[in-house]
Every structure is written in C-alpha cells, then in structure tokens.
C-alpha cells in the first residue's frame, strides 16, 4: 500500500511537503474566515482543531487514501498555502486548495495545482480529478478552467457552520499538464 507521508513535490517557485505538526502554527493562523469563505471547513479559533486535522491527514497519507500538503516558497521556505488530493485510491480523486491571503493572485495556486496534477498523472490510476467549488468563487473557477477543468454538474454543499452554498463541480481530465 502506498504511503504518502514522505512525498515532496517541486515546481519552479514552490515546494509541496506533506502536512505535519511543523506547520501547525501557519495552518492555524493563515486559514482565516476570509480565506475559508467558500470552503467546507470554517475556522473555529481553536488550535486543537488544526492539530486534529494534522493527525487525520497523517493517518490518511499513511493509509494511502489522500495526499495533503503545505505549499512553501521554494527559496525561502515561507508558508504560502495548502493543497490536497482526496480519494486517491479511486478513479475520481478530489482536489482542495487554499492560498494564504497575501500570496493570492500571484500564480501560486496554479503552480501548486499543476505540480499535484503532474504527480497524479505519474502515480495514480484515475479517470479525472474532481474540483468542487462554490459557484460564486470566481477566482477558484478561473483556476480550474485555466487547467482544463470543465463543468460536470451543479448542486449545493453545507459548510461546517451549517450554511448552504451553491456548488459547481469541475472535472479536470487526466493527461500531461504540459498540454495546458
């Protein structure tokens, strides 16, 4: 069974490393209510929830069911954000991503997602990546579309505060990222 706890990915300006307690402070501090506006998980202000999240993430990576990574500046090592691939043992893994507010809109999300897609193409057997996004999350929709994502369906989801949001699901087809 694969274990993803030691996987590190490199792109031109960013490095992706498995989530660990070394990044507890940054994961807690940078996932603000503003950044999480369109995410399922809503910050609680309790760092124990971040610790639980890290422990669960490590378990899922040990079991080979998910890969959950921090995004770091390749040169300085500064924390830039977070990206995950869930259900990697299925034909339809799902992507999630958030970038810390000061680093948004600078190409970090696109570079991290490209690195994850390249890794998926080389290491997983899948048909397409699912990229669910809140319908009004225009930046995230642009990111999905800029990497070949096409709308596959619509629906709703509920965040952890119980709010219901309209959802669009993109599918990003398998294939070399260089084609995009």
Ligand X SMILES: CC(C)(COP(=O)(O)OP(=O)(O)OC[C@H]1O[C@@H](n2cnc3c(N)ncnc32)[C@H](O)[C@@H]1OP(=O)(O)O)[C@@H](O)C(=O)NCCC(=O)NCCS
* Distance of closest approach, residue 105 Cβ to ligand X, in angstroms: 4
Angle between helices 138-146 and 108-123 (to 10 degrees): 50
Binding mask 9-38 for ligand X (x = CB under 6 A): --------------------------x--x
For ligand X, the nearest residue by Cβ is: 109
Residue-wise DSSP of 60-115: HHHHTS-EEEEEEETTT--EEEEEEEE-TTSSS-EEEEEE-GGGTTSSHHHHHHHH
Distance between alpha carbon 38 and the CA centroid of its chain, in Å? 13
φ, ψ dihedrals at 96, nearest 5°:
-135, 145
Sole window of 8-16, 19-27, 104-112, 122-130 interacting with ligand X (rule: CB under 6 A): 104-112
Q: Which of 105, 155, 173, 176 binds ligand X (CB under 6 A)?
A: 105
The one among 142, 154, 156, 176 contacting ligand X by CB under 6 A: 142
Structure token pair of residue 128: 């397409």
Among the candidate windows 2-10, 86-94, 137-145, 148-156, which touches ligand X by CB under 6 A?
137-145
* Tokens 């402070």 belong to residue: 25
Binding part of the chain for ligand X, among 12-20, 71-79, 91-99, 169-177 by CB under 6 A, reads 91-99
Task: Tell me how long the chain is.
Answer: 180
Residues of the shown chain interacting with ligand X in the complex, contacts defined by CB under 6 A: 35, 38-39, 97-99, 104-110, 133, 137, 139-140, 142-143, 146
């Amino acid at each position: 069974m694969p274990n993803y706890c030691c996987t590190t990915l490199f792109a031109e300006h960013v490095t992706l490393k498995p989530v660990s307690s070394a990044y507890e402070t940054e994961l807690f501090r940078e996932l603000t209510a503003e950044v999480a506006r369109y995410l399922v998980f809503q910050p609680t202000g309790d760092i124990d929830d971040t610790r639980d999240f890290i422990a669960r993430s490590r378990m899922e990576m040990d079991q080979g069911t998910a890969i959950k990574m921090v995004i770091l500046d390749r040169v300085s090592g500064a924390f830039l954000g977070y990206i995950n691939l869930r259900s990697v043992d299925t034909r339809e893994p799902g992507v999630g991503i958030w970038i810390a507010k000061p680093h948004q809109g600078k190409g970090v999300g696109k570079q991290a997602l490209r690195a994850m897609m390249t890794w998926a193409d080389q290491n997983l057997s899948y048909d397409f990546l699912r990229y669910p996004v809140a319908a009004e999350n225009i930046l995230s929709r642009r990111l999905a579309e800029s990497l070949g994502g096409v709308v596959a369906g619509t629906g709703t989801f509920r965040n952890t505060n119980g709010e219901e949001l309209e959802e669009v699901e993109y599918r990003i087809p398998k294939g070399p990222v260089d084609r995009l």
